[in-house]
Structures are given as C-alpha cells and as structure tokens.
C-alpha cells in the first residue's frame, strides 16, 4: 500500500512499530542526505560527477589509487561535518527502547554509530570510509596518516607492514562482500517481524536482497524513499516522502 499523505502514513507506521516486537532497519545513502552527504543516484549525487573506481583497477594502478584517495580527501570536510539526521536519531531511539537488535546499512559514513547504536550492532555491508586498511594484511590506519603520507610523496601510500595498497575500509564494486556481515544481515532479516528499508534505491545487489528475504520470512516490509523502487510492490507500506519528515516524529526527546 502506498501512503496517500505524510500524516496518515506516519500514523500507520507508528501502529506497525507499536505492534512489532523485533524491528530491523536497512538503510541506504538517503538517510544521510539531510546531513549534507550526497547520495549516489539523485541529481547532484556522487555518481553524476564521478564514475566509481572498481576494485581491480584500484589494485592494478597507482594512478587509480591516487585518484581514489584524492576523491576521498575532497569529501573529508563533508564527512567530518556530518552529524546524525532525524532518521538516524529515530532509529537510535527505537534501538534504545529495545526494539532493534541490529541494523543493516549500506552506508559507509559511521553516522549510525555516532547516533548511539553500538558499533557491534551496526552491520556495515559496504564497510566504513572513516578509516583505512591494508588490502593485504588488513592493518588499519587513521585517514590523517594516509593524508600526511600522500602529501609528502604525492601518491597513495602502501602498508608499512606488508607493502600492499592501503584503501578506505569500504567495499568497492568488484570486491568480495564481507562474509560475517552478510551472514548476520541474513539472520536479522529472517528473524524480524518488521523490516524498514530506508533511503535506498534498492538497486545495489546483493544488499538489495535483504528486504525480500525478510518479506519471504514473514516480516512486514516498509519502504521509506522519496522515489519509487523496484520492490515497492512487495511492501506492506510505501512511504514516498522525505525521511526526516517521516521519521522525525519517532525521534523522542
Ligand atoms: P542510492 O543513492 O542508490 O539511493 C538513495 C535513495 O534515497 C534514492 O532513491 C533517493 O531518491 C533517496 N533519498 C535521498 N535523500 C532522501 C530523503 N531525504 N528522503 C527520502 N529519500 C531520499 O543509495 P544506496 O541505495 O544506498 O546505494 C548507494 C551505495 O553507495 C551504497 O551501497 C553505499 O555503499 C554508497 N554510498 C554511501 C553513502 C553514505 O554512506 N552516506 C553516500 C553515497 C553512497
């Protein structure tokens, strides 16, 4: 069912939240746009300005690594200034109330953790861009270290321990999905009675399979996104409104 207007939609969502015992949110870039971090596919989104650098290119070419890091540094002021949105804060309130055992996110911006959800309960399917790791031995680094090395040499640095490239701790196109996170996301999807897909165009797979898995496993499915998605027909409730406006009433005090 597509909610006809914001008010009745929020009311219906409130009823579904009250009736649910286990809620699993699944979030995409849309929950963070209110914080100033652009999403991928909206007009002005990251994809309209930069073609993503696939993993094999990053490994094969120093030029690609330099470009990837230049882009990351260019975004740093935006990421550093971003704070949790009304959407993040509403989910944190439901988490504190004991309704949410864990949250699945495609986002890499660390804002769910910043909103008060324990890092262990944030399942990051695509990693985290607020730190870096070696793609060989997985030794992790602060971004400030990468920046100072880059500034000193003009190139993306390699690992001090094993010499392999250092990359933001994110999953690029063409890179294997993290096994443990995929497993935990599947378990959460299968065991909830309300699944909230929030701010995702639901076109990046395999992540986009979790709303359907939850629905097949018996959960009610709610999609909150300001444009249609391919999965709207499977949802029990579609809220085609701004996320901040829709979830704002659930922020609490
Ligand atoms: P996407 O850009 O494909 O889709 C975002 C969706 O959110 C769009 O359909 C857009 O219309 C909607 N949206 C944007 N702002 C909204 C708002 N205020 N209210 C309601 N809807 C809104 O994002 P995706 O599905 O998450 O896939 C992109 C991939 O890019 C992700 O997997 C993620 O790894 C990465 N990414 C992450 C961030 C981040 O961490 N904040 C930002 C950009 C991209």
61-102 confidence digits (pLDDT tens): 999 999 999 999 999 999 999 999 999 999 999 999 999 999
* Residue range 221-225: mean pLDDT, rounded: 98
In tens, the pLDDT along 101-152 reads 999 999 999 999 999 999 999 999 999 999 999 999 999 999 999 999 999 9
Distances (CA, A) of 16 to 10, 172, 181, 234: 10, 35, 27, 16
Boundary residue ending a domain (138, 170, 202)? 170
Task: Output the pTM of the full model.
Answer: 0.95
Same structural domain, 142 and 33? no
Same structural domain, 156 and 248? no
Q: Looking at per-residue confidence, does 45 or 233 come out higher? A: 233
Q: How far apart are CA 153 and CA 203, in angstroms?
A: 38
Pocket test for ligand 1, best of 25, 27, 29, 231 (most atoms within 8 A of CB): 29
Same structural domain, 137 and 243? no
Percent of the chain at pLDDT above 70? 96
* Residue range 215-240: mean pLDDT, rounded: 98
pLDDT of residue 40: 78
Same structural domain, 67 and 112? no
What's the pLDDT band for 51 if we cut at 50, 70, 90?
Answer: confident
Same structural domain, 198 and 154? no
Q: How many domains does the chain have?
A: 2
Q: Say whether 234 is catalytic.
A: no
Is 159 near ligand 1, meaning CB less than 6 Å away? Answer: no
Residue 213, both tokens: 């898995």
Same structural domain, 25 and 139? no
Boundary residue ending a domain (140, 170, 200)? 170
Same structural domain, 253 and 203? yes
Q: Looking at ligand 1, which atom is closest to the CA of residue 245?
A: 19
pLDDT of residue 183: 98
How many whole angstroms from its chain centre is CA 29?
Answer: 6
Is 124 near ligand 1, meaning CB less than 6 Å away? Answer: no
Identify the residue whose C-alpha is closest to ligand 1 atom 13: 30
Pocket test for ligand 1, best of 199, 223, 227, 228 (most atoms within 8 A of CB): 199
Question: For residue 249, what are the contacts with CB-CB under 8 A and spacing of at least 6?
Answer: 10, 14, 90
Same structural domain, 187 and 241? yes
Same structural domain, 184 and 205? yes
Same structural domain, 191 and 248? yes
Q: Report the CATH number that the domain containing residue 10 is assigned in CATH.
A: 3.40.50.1220
User: Is pLDDT above 80 for 165?
Assistant: yes
Same structural domain, 152 and 248? no
Is 181 near ligand 1, meaning CB less than 6 Å away? Answer: no
User: Is pLDDT above 70 for 45?
Assistant: no
Same structural domain, 45 and 21? no
Is 204 near ligand 1, meaning CB less than 6 Å away? Answer: yes
Secondary structure in 3-state letters for the chain: CECCCHHHHHHHHHHHHHHCCCEEEEECHHHCHHHCCCCCCCCCCHHHHCCCCCHHHHHHCHHHHHHHHHHHHHHHHHHHHCCCCHHHHHHHHHHHCCCCCCEEECCCCCHHHHCCCCHHHEEECCEEEEEEEECCCCCEECHHHHHHHHHHHCCCCECCCCCCEEEEEECCCCCCCCHHHHHHHHHHHHHCCEEEEECCCCCCCCCCHHHHHHHHCCCEEEEECCCCCCCHHHCCEEECCCHHHHHHHHCCC
Residue 148, both tokens: 């100072």
Boundary residue ending a domain (170, 201, 223)? 170
Q: Report the CATH number that the domain containing residue 73 is assigned in CATH.
A: 3.30.1600.10
Q: Which domain holds residue 24?
A: 1-37+84-126+177-253
């Amino acid at each position: 069912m597509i909610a006809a207007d914001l008010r009745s939609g929020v009311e219906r969502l409130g009823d579904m939240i009250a009736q649910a015992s286990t809620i699993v949110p699944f979030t995409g870039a849309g929950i963070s746009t209110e914080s100033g971090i652009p999403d991928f596919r909206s007009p002005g989104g990251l994809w309209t300005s930069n073609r993503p650098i696939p993993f094999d290119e990053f490994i094969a070419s120093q030029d690609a690594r330099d470009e990837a890091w230049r882009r990351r540094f260019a975004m740093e002021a935006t990421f550093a200034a971003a704070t949790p949105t009304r959407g993040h804060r509403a989910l944190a309130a439901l988490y504190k109330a004991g309704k949410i055992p864990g949250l699945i996110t495609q986002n890499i911006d660390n804002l769910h953790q910043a909103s008060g959800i324990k890092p262990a309960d944030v399942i990051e399917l695509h990693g985290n861009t607020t730190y870096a790791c070696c793609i060989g031995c997985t030794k992790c680094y602060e971004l400030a270290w990468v920046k100072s090395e880059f500034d000193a040499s003009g190139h993306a640095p390699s690992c001090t321990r094993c010499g392999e490239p250092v990359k933001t701790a994110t999953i690029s196109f063409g890179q294997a999905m993290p096994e443990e996170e995929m497993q935990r996301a599947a378990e959460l999807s299968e065991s909830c009675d309300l699944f909230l897909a929030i701010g995702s165009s639901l076109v990046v797979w395999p992540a986009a399979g979790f709303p359907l898995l939850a629905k097949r496993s018996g959960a009610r499915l709610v999609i909150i996104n300001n444009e249609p998605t391919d999965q709207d027909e499977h949802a029990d409730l579609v809220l085609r409104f701004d996320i901040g406006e829709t979830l704002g009433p659930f922020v609490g005090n």
